[in-house]
Structures are given as structure tokens and as C-alpha cells.
Amino acid sequence: MDAFAPKTKEEQEKEERTYQPYTEIMSTLPKVRGFAPQHLYNHQGFWYTESNLPRVMAVQNHFIAHSSDILLATNPKCGTTWLKSLIFAICNRKLHPSTQHPLLTVNSHQLVPFLELLYTNNEIPDLDILPSPRLLATHIPYSSLPQSVLDSGCPLVYMCRNPKDTFVSWWHFLNKISNKELKPSTLEEAFEMFCNGASIVGPFWDHVLDYWRASLDRPQCVMFLKYEEMQAETIVHVKRLAKFVRCPFSLEEEKEGVVDEIIRLCSYENLSRLEVNKTGEAMFGENEIKFHTFFRKGKVGDSSNYLTAEMTERLDRISEQKFHGYGLTLN
């Protein structure tokens, strides 16, 4: 059943009235020029695009989490596609043989949708019709999540990435999805905005720190992962991930190579060469995005090919200042 099943005219008008106050609230918020370039609006200390902020507000007011939900959270360009693939494969491994796996023909962003993008076209979707466990993703900061998520105790997995690679990957992504009407900023312009916090759901460091502190306060509910560590010791962290989302691998599965099989299936090398990810596309909010734009390199340290020594030093200095006293480092 479709979460966006046809609705009556009366239902549509009611939902449109629900969204109207969000537009009015936005008119009172601070705004700055963002990456794209487009304006970003500051809501609860973080920056959102004009199109996405009403959706975030709708999620905050209407999404009801279940204890069985599994929620993935990231800052954009921090390994989201990889994490979605891993979670889907882990949780559904008993349902799909590797030779007929959905990931072979369906992009992971369709299998694990962004929660805020389900609240589109001024609609309030009926997410209770989705099968349990509901696998959902979000870029919303921890402190801005709906209270129901915190109350439900559902597993919340956060993955971050060092700010240098995150910034460069994000800038390349915006270049790929730009068009004649929407030209991205130059690397230097975007870098200044990123350092000043004016990026989607930025400041980047506040977003990371938000989830880091939550993982320390509520380790039974919030798991904090680093992209670089996932790359270096994938088997170790995939097993940790499976246990955290209540789908642990049995000793028999480990002996049979199930963990290795999932890692191979979800690897950058495998996913990026699949036909669906080379030629497919889908709507993400108001934007039609080709799946191949989600696959650039995925390599740790690639930012060194784009950032000057001064840029690198500046990002490192900001990280040191922002994370000082919290026991967190992102190299």
C-alpha cells in the first residue's frame, strides 16, 4: 500500500492548511545565502533550505515513532548511501538470497527513504502502513528530532565523516545536480560558507556534536559511527551495527560467510557498477536526482586533492575548537 495513496479534496485542503503556519514561521527566521546558491533558514540552531524546512517542521509535529523503528542519521555526504545499504541488507538477510537481492535492482535511497522527504507536496503520509521494522533515514539534528523518537527508544544509528572529505564530497554533489537556473558556488565560496556553518543542516560540527553527546548520554539508544573507522574495519563495525539494531549475526552465519557477503554486496565497487545506480533516477523532494551522483569515489582523504594547506589547517582548527573537551576527534 502506498504511503501517499490518493486523498479526497477535503483531506488535501486540510493538509495544506497544516503546512501554512510553517511558511509563516519561516518568514520570521534568519536566512543566509547557501551553497547552491539558495537561501538557508535557521531553525533551532541549524540551517535548512526553503523547500525542506516545512517538511522538517511537519516531521517534528506529526511523525510518531515506534519502538521497532530503525532510524539512520547523517550529515549529508557522510556515507549515507553505504549505511542505508548495509542496514537494509542486515535487517532483510533472511528474506532475500544474494542473487536476487533488492539492492541489485533498487537504489538504497528508495529502500530506506529519508523521513523528511516522505512529507512532501504538503502531505502528511500514513507511515503506519509500512512494514515493521520501518527503516528510515534523516539529516535532522538530534536536538530537533520529534519527541516521539526519543521516547520510543528505537535504535538510532549516526554516522559521521571528517569535515574535509565531507565538504569536498558535498561540493561535488551540488555541481552534479546543478542546472542552468541553479548554479553552485565556487569551491572557495562554498568553503567559506561551510566554515561559517551555512550548509544544509549545518553547522557541520554542531550536528556531529549533537549526536556524539546523545551517544554518550544514551548509548543503548544511539550508536555513533565514523566513516573512516567503518572503512578500516568494516567486518568489526558491521557486526556491531547488526547487534545494535537487534539483528545480530549468529556464529553459524559468521562461519558461512554471511557477514562477508553483505559487505561485498554493499561495497562501493559493487553498488556503483550496478545498472540501476548508473542509469536510474528518482525524485527527492522537488529535485530529480540521478543515482550515479551518489557514487563519486567514497575514498578517505580524497579532499587533499582539492583543498589547499591553508584550507585543511582551518578545518582542523575549527574541529579542535568545536570538539575540545568532548573526547571526539575527526581526522
Q: In the predicted model, what is the mean pLDDT of residues 31-38?
A: 76
* CA angle 204–206–209, rounded 5-degree value: 110
What CATH class has 30-323?
A: alpha beta
CB-based contacts of 14, cutoff 8 Å, min separation 6: none
Tell me the backbone φ, ψ of residue 4, rounded to 5 degrees: -115, 45
pLDDT of residue 215: 98
E strand residue ranges, the chain: 31-33, 39-43, 46-49, 70-74, 135-138, 156-160, 222-226, 281-284, 287-290
* Residues forming the active site: 139
Q: How many residues does the chain have?
A: 331
Tell me the C-alpha distance between 215 and 192, whole Å: 30
pLDDT of residue 49: 92
pLDDT bucket at 34, cuts 50 / 70 / 90? confident
The DSSP output letter for 181 is S
Q: What percent of the chain has pLDDT over 90?
A: 76
pLDDT of residue 1: 37
pLDDT of residue 2: 46
**Residue bearing the bigger pLDDT, 8 or 156:** 156
Query: Per-residue pLDDT for 325 more than 90?
Result: yes
pLDDT bucket at 183, cuts 50 / 70 / 90? low
pLDDT of residue 182: 60
pLDDT of residue 18: 84
Alpha carbon of residue 42 to chain centroid = 19
Is the CB of residue 93 less than 8 Å from the CB of residue 242? no
Query: Per-residue pLDDT for 174 more than 50?
Result: yes
